[in-house]
Amino acid sequence: MTDRLDGLDLAAAAPFVDADAVRQMWAAQRDYDVNRWLLPLPPWAKRRYDDPGPRAWESLRRRLAADTSQRPFCIYLHVPFCSRKCGFCDSYSFKLGAQQAGRIEDYVNRLCDELRLWSALGGLARRPVSTVHLGGGTPTFLGAAALRRIVACCRDHFNAGPETEWALESTVEALTPGMVAAMHEMGFRRLHLGIQSLQDEVRAAIGRRRSAAEALAKIRETRALGWVVSVDIICGLPFQTLAGFMDGLAALIEAGVNGVSLYELLIYRQNRHWAEQHGLTGRSHVPNYGMFLAGAFYLEGRGFHKNLFNHWADTLDTNVYFTFPQRGEDLLAVGTTADGVFGDYHYRHPRYAAYMDAPPPGLEGGLPKTAAEKTLWPLMTAILSGRLSAEKRGELENLAGESLLRRWMVNRLVVPTAGGLELTPAGSWFAGNMLAELAEAPLKIQPGGSMIST
């Protein structure tokens, strides 16, 4: 068997993982093309909204008025601002131009107006809040005073208590000592740090101004405060080497991280120019896949377990917000481009200008899950969680027949564990393909919503 995966020399992973295991996993995927992996997509990405914004809001009002449950839910707030736009980034984020302070104030006012509206719906203000997560962009870019207003608004209008986990995303640069102290005082105990890579050459190419040593020091400092610290790492950046990537993971574990999300560098319209400059367009995905697999094997060998298809966590890292469906929770999302889910209903906000122009809540549109999506949602949630219980495995076999499961097993996307199934590192790479195959499997839906496989 070859040592190289399209130019990636797996020998460099050998001090960390069994390179043969990586090679064998790659060789097992005969029915799947590494270059054609799919992202798991929400319903709004696959079809048009059923309801324009105002009708979506009416629908949500009705649903929430009728919902008397005391189920916990998550709050996600999107902050699209950054000190500059990184060339590699595909997130909805941008640098503010003139009148930065005023724009931040307007945006925070707008978020709080929206939060107040939601809190008046049904019993939402009384339901416990499991997590408040500020994503971006770079929420720490708002500064401590603006963050304090958002936190106060959430506490004043929702049932956030001692059990609520307060989380936000930041760059190392924006996490100044003053910001760390302010966050701690506000109650933040979970940090998502965008590390991307710990190779200084790579960091320079992606415009990170802080060194790897500073990034690691920041992780140690925040871990010492008792925070849960999760980091983002990308496979496929310029100048990245497998040895540097593996060294980086080892250093992160050494520094005490609780969780690692692994991504492949995605190239879309907004970062295509940067990618072209670095000769990354038209690339083979295979070396990135090899890196991803080696990283996944290593994290698993060091005792991390997936609680999401691309997130490896220790025992303290249990509550990452995007696992809300696994916990049977709803997601209240506010802010530009934020998308939320209440029961079977998905809704989404527009881009910045339209969001700021519209009266709150300013939704862009919404759509209920189809009968098929409703039935498949628990199974899809389980796949995305990285494991299927024995019961879910049975449901999968009933619903899609044995052949799909056999295909996943033969291609080593899943392996049996304790009666159920677990996604392998390759399964993490192909999780979106697995969901697409499930959605396309021949299924028969009965009027009551139950389903029989054909």
- Is the separation of the CB atoms in 199 and 212 below 8 Å? yes
Q: Should residue 310 be labelled a site residue for ligand SAM when binding is judged by CB under 6 A?
A: no
* Residue appearing with tokens 């043969």: 20
Take residue 431 and report the two structure tokens written for it: 């999780």
* Whole-number Å distance between alpha carbons of 8 and 315: 32
* Residue 325 CB, nearest approach to ligand SAM (Å): 20
- Find the largest Cα–Cα distance for the chain: 62
* Residue 238 CB, nearest approach to ligand SAM (Å): 12
In three-state secondary structure terms, 312 is: strand
* Whole-number Å distance between alpha carbons of 300 and 17: 10
CA 288 distance to own-chain centroid: 19
Nearest to 242 by CA among 285, 294, 171, 280: 294
Q: Show the binding pattern over residues 79-108: x = contacts ligand SAM (CB under 6 A), - = does not.
A: ---x-----xxxx-----------------
- Start-end of H helices in 187-239: 200-205, 212-224
Among 13, 22, 82, 379, binds ligand SF4 (CB under 6 A): 82
Asked if omega into 361 is within 30° of 0 (cis), the reply is yes
* Whole-number Å distance between alpha carbons of 314 and 294: 18
Among 55, 63, 85, 407, binds ligand SF4 (CB under 6 A): 85
Q: CB-wise, 272 or 444, nearer to ligand SAM?
A: 272
Q: Should residue 86 be labelled a site residue for ligand SF4 when binding is judged by CB under 6 A?
A: yes
For residue 109, give every residue at least 6 positions away whose Cβ sits within 8 Å of its Cβ, in sequence order, or none.
Answer: none
Residue 234 binding: pick among ligand SAM, ligand SF4, none (C-beta 5-8 Å cut-off by kind): ligand SAM
Nearest position to ligand SAM, beta carbon = 194
- What separation, in Å, do the N-terminal and C-terminal C-alpha atoms of the chain show? 40
* Residue 85 CB, nearest approach to ligand SF4 (Å): 5
Query: Which of positions 188-227 make contact with ligand SAM (CB under 6 A)?
Result: 194, 196
* Residue 232 CB, nearest approach to ligand SAM (Å): 3
Residue 107 binding: pick among ligand SF4, ligand SAM, none (C-beta 5-8 Å cut-off by kind): none
Eight-state DSSP code of residue 34: G
Residue 85 binding: pick among ligand SF4, ligand SAM, none (C-beta 5-8 Å cut-off by kind): ligand SF4
Q: CB-wise, 93 or 428, nearer to ligand SF4?
A: 93
Q: Should residue 138 be labelled a site residue for ligand SF4 when binding is judged by CB under 6 A?
A: yes
**At 11, phi and psi to the nearest 5?**
-55, -30
* Residue 213 CB, nearest approach to ligand SAM (Å): 17
* Residue 58 CB, nearest approach to ligand SF4 (Å): 33
In three-state secondary structure terms, 188 is: strand
Q: Should residue 139 be labelled a site residue for ligand SF4 when binding is judged by CB under 6 A?
A: no
Choose one: 102-110, 136-144, 315-323, 393-401; the region binding ligand SF4 (CB under 6 A). Answer: 136-144
* Whole-number Å distance between alpha carbons of 428 and 425: 5
* Residue 90 CB, nearest approach to ligand SF4 (Å): 8
**Inter-helix orientation angle 286-301/242-255, to 10°:** 30
Q: Should residue 136 be labelled a site residue for ligand SF4 when binding is judged by CB under 6 A?
A: yes
Query: Which of positions 251-270 make contact with ligand SAM (CB under 6 A)?
Result: 263, 265-266
Q: Should residue 238 be labelled a site residue for ligand SF4 when binding is judged by CB under 6 A?
A: no
**In which element (H, E) is residue 448 found?**
none
Among 43, 137, 236, 248, binds ligand SF4 (CB under 6 A): 137
* Whole-number Å distance between alpha carbons of 345 and 242: 42
For residue 178, give every residue at least 6 positions away whose Cβ sits within 8 Å of its Cβ, in sequence order, or none.
Answer: 144
**At 160, phi and psi to the nearest 5?**
-90, 125
Residue 232 binding: pick among ligand SAM, ligand SF4, none (C-beta 5-8 Å cut-off by kind): ligand SAM
In three-state secondary structure terms, 306 is: strand
Among 135, 194, 244, 386, binds ligand SF4 (CB under 6 A): 194
Q: CB-wise, 59 or 288, nearer to ligand SAM?
A: 288
* Residue 141 CB, nearest approach to ligand SF4 (Å): 8
* Whole-number Å distance between alpha carbons of 30 and 28: 6
> Which residues of this chain interact with ligand SF4, rule CB under 6 A?
82, 85-86, 89, 91, 93, 136-138, 171, 194
> Which residues of this chain interact with ligand SAM, rule CB under 6 A?
82, 88-91, 135-136, 138, 169, 171, 194, 196, 232, 234, 263, 265-266, 271
